[in-house]
Amino acid sequence: MSTRNTLLAACSALVVGCGAALAESPNLGKAASPEEIASWDISIGPDGAGLPPGSGTPQQGEQVYLAKCLACHGEKGSGKPNDQLVGGQGSLGPGQVPVKTVGSFWPYATTVFDYVRRAMPLNESKSLRDDEVYAVVAYILQLNGVIGENDTINAQTLPAVRMPNRDGFVRFSRGK
């Protein structure tokens, strides 16, 4: 047998052996159960699709904020040590230093709900009850002048909230 044929046979055996090895599972992890998937399938769309039952007012939200948000976001959302949540309206124009807050940058109130629900408080994400999320979002929106101090937000009213920067984004098309 020539060297070339020997090398070809060896490579063929290696490829077949690797294919068999790749076909075997390393037995890492396990399939996620429907309950496990449901606990993470909590996305809320801009139109409010997926919002849970519940409601909250700015007054209720202030209490939640003082207990669970103040240490990171400062008094009335002023920031420090973490992001500022309030103010900045009108700061996104040309030649200005942008102050990106809930009131100046975020295009949809439902996105605020989604983010708070899944990521806050930082050290205990997903720990707020839905009523607490509605309430703290109502408080932040009220501090930004987006809703009134006597307004109640819920799955019906939150998608109707018009954020100041709703039209501040440019639609991006991938050439389709």
Report the helix count and the strand count for the chain, using DSSP H and E: 6, 2
Gap between the Cα atoms of 150 and 58, Å rounded: 7
Domain boundaries, the chain: 43-160
Residue 100 is encoded by which pair of tokens?
A: 């990106």
Gap between the Cα atoms of 141 and 109, Å rounded: 8
Give the pLDDT of residue 174: 77
Determine the distance from the C-alpha atom of residue 143 to the mean position of all C-alpha atoms in its chain, rounded to a whole number.
Answer: 21
Over the stretch 115-153, which tens digit does the pLDDT of each residue have? 999 999 999 999 999 999 999 999 999 999 999 999 999
Give the CATH class of 43-160: mainly alpha
pLDDT band at 26 (very low <50, low <70, confident <90, very high): confident
Residue 93 contacts by C-beta under 8 Å, 6 or more apart in sequence? none
Kind plus residue range of the DSSP H or E element containing 6: helix 3-23
49 SS3 class: coil
Share of the chain above pLDDT 90, in %: 64
Mean pLDDT of the region 158-167: 95
Instruction: Check whether the bond before 164 is cis (ω within 30° of 0).
Output: no
pLDDT at 94 over 80: yes
User: Per DSSP, what are the bridge partners of residue 39?
Assistant: none
Does 86 or 40 have the greater pLDDT score?
A: 86
Residue 12 contacts by C-beta under 8 Å, 6 or more apart in sequence? none
Over the stretch 44-84, which tens digit does the pLDDT of each residue have? 999 999 999 999 999 999 999 999 999 999 999 999 899 99
